[in-house]
Amino acid sequence: MPEPVIASVGASPLGRTDLPGRDLFSVALAEAFDGLPDPADLVEAVYVGNQSESYEHQIMYGTLLAEWAGLRHVPAERVEGCAAAGALALRHAVKDVRNGEHEAVLACGVEKMTSAGTSGATDALSAAFDRAIEQRSGITAPSQYALLAQRYLHETDATERDLAEIAVKNHANAAHNPRAQFPKEIDVATVLDSDPIAPPLKLFDCAPVGDGAAAVLVTTEELAADLDRPQVRVAGSGASANNIAVAERDMTDIAGARIAAETAYEEAGIDATDVDFAEVHDAFTVCEALLAEAVGFAPSGMGYQSYREPAERADGWTDVQLSPSGGLKARGHPIGATGLLQALEAYEQLTGAAGDRAVEGAETALLLNEGGVADAVTVGHVLTTAEAP
């Protein structure tokens, strides 16, 4: 079977922008194809991760972005899975290349979240929850995750200060990331003293609302070599859906994330201890703690130590570095693009293009992208350097 690789990446600016979604995509695409033949000369299919038509009153994003890329008469479709849409798009591209169906597939994601203010984004995101019970009870994304956080703090030794430290760590990482929406350090007091959003979560426990687009070109390794591009292997891919209603899931053992990661590990022939760094779905600080446990980085109840240096973590932790990009919290979280921004970070890290945020000696990365609340749907990918065994 052909080996799928990532051959190029690009992104738009992240945050509050004056560009609509298609134009954000044009910016991301231009970066990804800098120095390459035009998309029309390479790309055989397009997948677009996109959360919601409420931001721009626009569906048909597959057709639209294929057209804006200069492609006509290729298969193109929007992929929906709330915040996991980007990694789902990547997964489709990877499968198409691995199956031998296409040699080059464009996985991209876009979200224009700032079009209707915070309340517009709150409303659009609430559509990811069960309509009959959850939405009609007035639940929101932060309050859903607050239910997980409250339970996690109840069951473990973790404190609100530990969760704050996760945000501090991710901001410190983002300070070295020129792509980040918030490339600046913050302190613990800033988090703890920030406005209550859904206790125990406060404003600085939450990833921001923002616009953004990302484009990732997936090809065969032969084509990437012909194009003389640095390549990163997609060695494993896994996905798992769990119940839509959070009440009917285990709220501190994120089973869907474990299954998605283990599927990806197995395909790649690795285990959790082989992962040098991970980009995880820290939409809220507690997510990083829960996911570290789910995917085998941390012992049960110890994931909240993710902000500490490896030597200072509990026994049973791996030496993984979490979210060198700054994560969703500080790099930014334009919903449909997020899974591809994670892939972009891993591409830059594994091709020596991560500058002063480089994880030294990194060869293997786990990407973990979730949609809905926690593991309503999870997508995991293992990326490795071309030289990795």
Partner 1 sequence: MSDADLDATDPRTLPGFFDALADGELLGGVCADCGQVLLPPRPACYACGSRAVDVEPQSHDGEIYTYTAVHTPPPAFAADAPYTVAVVALADGGRLLGRVAADYADVAIGDPVELTVREPTAAEREVALDYETDWPVHVFEPR
- Give Cβ neighbours of residue 304 (< 8 Å, ≥ 6 apart): 152, 156, 157, 158, 162, 163, 166, 289
Q: Which residue has the tokens 């820290």?
A: 282
C-alpha torsion sign, points 9, 13, 16, 17: negative
Query: What number of other Cβ atoms are within 10 A of residue 300's Cβ?
Result: 12
199 binds partner 1 (CB under 8 A): yes
* Cβ atoms of residues 349 and 277 within 8 Å: yes
Cis before 200? omega within 30:
yes
- In angstroms, rounded to a whole number, what is the distance separating the alpha carbons of residues 180 and 348? 14
Does residue 136 bind partner 1 (CB under 8 A)? yes
The residue from 150, 156, 190, 351 that contacts partner 1 (CB under 8 A) is 150
Q: Is 214 in the site for partner 1 (CB under 8 A)?
A: no
Q: With respect to partner 1, which residue has the nearer C-beta, 1 or 119?
A: 119
196 belongs to the binding site for partner 1 (CB under 8 A): yes
Question: Rounded to the nearest whole angstrom, what is the least distance from the CB of residue 152 to partner 1 in the complex?
Answer: 9
**CB of residue 149 to partner 1, shortest distance in Å:** 8
The single residue listed with the structure tokens 């597959």 is 62
Stretch that binds partner 1, among 47-55, 134-142, 269-277, 282-290 (CB under 8 A): 134-142
Residue 362 binding partner 1, by CB under 8 A: no
Query: Which part of the chain contacts partner 1 (CB under 8 A), choosing from 60-68, 129-137, 270-278, 309-317?
Result: 129-137
Q: Which two tokens stand for residue 110?
A: 């876009």
Task: Report the alpha-carbon distance of residue 259 to residue 325 in Å, rounded.
Answer: 24
Interface positions, 84-123, toward partner 1 (CB under 8 A)? 118-119, 122-123
- Among 80, 96, 134, 162, which residue sits at the site for partner 1 (rule: CB under 8 A)? 134
Residue 57: Cβ within 10 Å count:
7
Nearer to partner 1, 199 or 269 (CB): 199
Select from 246, 340, 341, 344 the one that contacts partner 1 (CB under 8 A): 246
Distances (CA, A) of 50 to 88, 162, 307: 10, 32, 30
Residue ranges in contact with partner 1 by CB under 8 A: 118-119, 122-123, 126, 132-140, 142-143, 146-148, 150-151, 154, 195-201, 243, 245-248, 251
